[in-house]
Amino acid sequence: MNPRYIITGALLVVVLAGGIYALRKNQAPLSAGPRENSSAHSKGPKTAPVTIEEFSDFQCPACQKAEPTLKKIMADYPDGIYFTFRHFPLAGHQWSGIAHQAAECAAGQGKFWEFHDKLYDEQPLWSGSANPVEFFLRYGRDLGLDLDPFAACLNDQKIKRRVLLDKTEGEAMKVQSTPTFFINGERVVGPVELENKGRAKVESLLGKPPVLMSIPPEKTT
């Protein structure tokens, strides 16, 4: 083979790789981790050694799939994790925006987490319907919300901006798909990675979760 041909190929690879490295180097540094000044929804002790920040979309099936894993991790370490939820409604999901807004409206009446759970539990129902607001109003009634302010809140531009603020912050952190987690600042994307890499990360920081064994009662004669 012509040596000039091989050298040309090698040079092309060097130039391409160099270009990519240079572009990456010039990118703005990513910020990660929950921000104290944000109005995000959190649970767990603030002083916990592990922080998990989730950017999620209520209409995303992968986010729903990640929920049981996340809940199990949280249950395994009740005092070890400070969890923050961030809105990240994806453009490709028709009802995401209004679902996140509804969750914020429920938050206004102190029922964010209950509404959050309801949206994931019943995701296939409302996401496939022509009018998801009917579902949201029903969930609101089931949760004991005051429905008139809740319904009015669904059109509140201030609430919409709050949701979009979360998304903008996510985009600044290069969140591209949902669910994206930041576990003590380390990025973990998707339900499968949460189960593997995410759980391993939490275990490396907090140790293996305690195994609860039930002891059979002693036999009495």
Partner 1 sequence: MKQIPPVLLFILRLWIGLVFVYAGFSKLMEPVENFRGIIAQYEVIPYALVPFLSVVLPWIEFIFGTFMILGYATRLSALVLTALSFGFLMVLGSSQVLLGSVPVSCGCFGEGGIHLSVRQIFVLDILNTAIGIKLFSIKNHPFSLDSRFK
The residues binding partner 1 (CB under 8 A) are 2, 4-5, 8-9, 12-13, 16-17, 20, 23-24, 27, 30, 57, 60-63, 90-93, 171, 174-178, 180, 187-193, 196
Residue 135: CB minimum distance to partner 1, A: 20
Residue 164: CB minimum distance to partner 1, A: 12
Question: Of the two residues 140 and 198, which places its CB atom closer to partner 1 in the complex?
Answer: 198
SS (H, E, C) the chain: CCHHHHHHHHHHHHHHHHHHHHHHHCCCCCCCCCCCCCCCEEECCCCCCEEEEEEECCCCHHHHHHHHHHHHHHHHCCCCEEEEEEECCCCCCCCHHHHHHHHHHHHHCCCHHHHHHHHHHCHHHHHCCCCHHHHHHHHHHHCCCCHHHHHHHCCCHHHHHHHHHHHHHHHHCCCCCCCEEEECCEEEECHHHHHHHHHHHHHHHHCCCCCCCCCCCCCCC
Question: Of the two residues 20 and 152, which places its CB atom closer to partner 1 in the complex?
Answer: 20
Residue 62: CB minimum distance to partner 1, A: 5
Residue 204: CB minimum distance to partner 1, A: 16
Question: Of the two residues 75 and 200, which places its CB atom closer to partner 1 in the complex?
Answer: 200
Question: Of the two residues 145 and 188, which places its CB atom closer to partner 1 in the complex?
Answer: 188
Question: Of the two residues 62 and 206, which places its CB atom closer to partner 1 in the complex?
Answer: 62
How far apart CA 152 and CA 167 sit, in angstroms, is 23
Residue 33: CB minimum distance to partner 1, A: 15
